[in-house]
């Protein structure tokens, strides 16, 4: 408990929870790629996930704790840093910092709002048309995730929200990756540019993977 109170302990917790969230995102983007196989792809994937039964709920609970810790400490540490330096530096020219680094709290908070919106939308089916019809539309007994996603991205506003959130995800993950290595003491001036490039690449792959879904639906390549 005292470790969670110290700022080093909280930084470490942010690094570890951030890494777990990136693993979740990688798994999620890979799983989502099954939509390109067609309705059988993503629907079968969703059925396999639900077949995990109680284990799925354990994973969901662990992920919720991980997510809450990451967001909570992120906000706390940002507020503490600001309180420790109420007046901004007069000269910032020599500080090596990037747009992604400077906007971590903003991209993080917008991603929090996005995840709430996204879970309400695709997991709890808030605002999804014809939910009753979709409930047993896959093989006569399963929820039709494919039709839900394709019709969902038939609305321009949803495409806009998702693409904007994925661009912020790119910035958040690209800086988060090197921040993780720095907190664990694995980075130095010499290797930092290399880690920066790896972080950008990882974030680009994930964001492009996610963005490809609404975009290919919007242009009609993935359709009902």
- Count residues contacting ligand HEM (CB under 6 A)? 19
202 lies in the binding site for ligand HEM (CB under 6 A)? no
151 scored as a contact of ligand HEM (CB under 6 A) = no
Per CB under 6 A, 210 contacts ligand HEM = yes
The two tokens of residue 172 are 């958040």
Report the C-alpha gap between 41 and 124 in whole angstroms: 21
Backbone angles phi, psi at 138, to 5 degrees: -95, 115
Residues in contact with ligand HEM, shown as a per-residue x/- string from 117 to 136 under the rule CB under 6 A: -xx--xx-------------
| CB of 153 vs ligand HEM, minimal distance in Å | 8
Give the start-end residues of each E strand in the chain. none
User: Which residue has 């997991």 as its token pair?
Assistant: 123
Alpha helices in the chain (DSSP H): 2-5, 7-32, 39-51, 54-84, 99-102, 104-118, 131-135, 145-152, 156-183, 192-218
Nearer to ligand HEM, 18 or 200 (CB): 18
State how far the Cα of 52 lies from the Cα of 59, in Å rounded to an integer: 10
Q: Which DSSP category does 97 fall into? A: -
Does 168 bind ligand HEM (CB under 6 A)? Our answer is: no
What residues numbered 77-116 form the site for ligand HEM, per CB under 6 A? Answer: 111, 115
The answer to the question of residue 223 lying near ligand HEM (CB under 6 A) is: no
Binding site for ligand HEM (CB under 6 A): 25, 28, 32, 46, 49, 60, 111, 115, 118-119, 122-123, 145, 149, 162, 169, 210, 213-214
């Amino acid at each position: 408990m005292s470790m969670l109170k110290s700022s080093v302990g909280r930084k470490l917790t942010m690094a570890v929870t951030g890494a777990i969230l990136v693993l979740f995102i990688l798994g999620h983007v890979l799983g989502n790629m099954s939509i390109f196989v067609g309705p059988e792809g993503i629907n079968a994937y969703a059925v396999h996930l639900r077949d995990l039964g109680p284990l799925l709920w354990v994973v969901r609970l662990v992920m919720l704790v991980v997510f809450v810790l990451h967001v909570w400490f992120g906000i706390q540490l940002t507020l503490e840093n600001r309180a420790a330096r109420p007046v901004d530096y007069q000269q910032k020219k020599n500080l090596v910092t990037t747009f992604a680094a400077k906007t971590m709290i903003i991209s993080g908070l917008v991603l929090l709002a996005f995840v709430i919106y996204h879970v309400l939308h695709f997991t709890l089916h808030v605002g999804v048309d014809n939910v009753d019809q979709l409930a047993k539309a896959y093989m006569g007994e399963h929820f039709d995730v494919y039709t839900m996603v394709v019709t969902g991205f038939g609305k321009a506003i949803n495409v806009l929200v998702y693409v904007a959130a994925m661009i912020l995800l790119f910035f958040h993950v690209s800086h988060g990756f090197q921040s993780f290595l720095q907190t664990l003491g694995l980075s130095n001036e010499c290797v930092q540019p290399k880690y920066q490039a790896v972080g950008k690449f990882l974030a680009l792959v994930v964001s492009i993977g996610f963005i490809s879904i609404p975009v290919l639906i919007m242009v009609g390549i993935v359709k009902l």
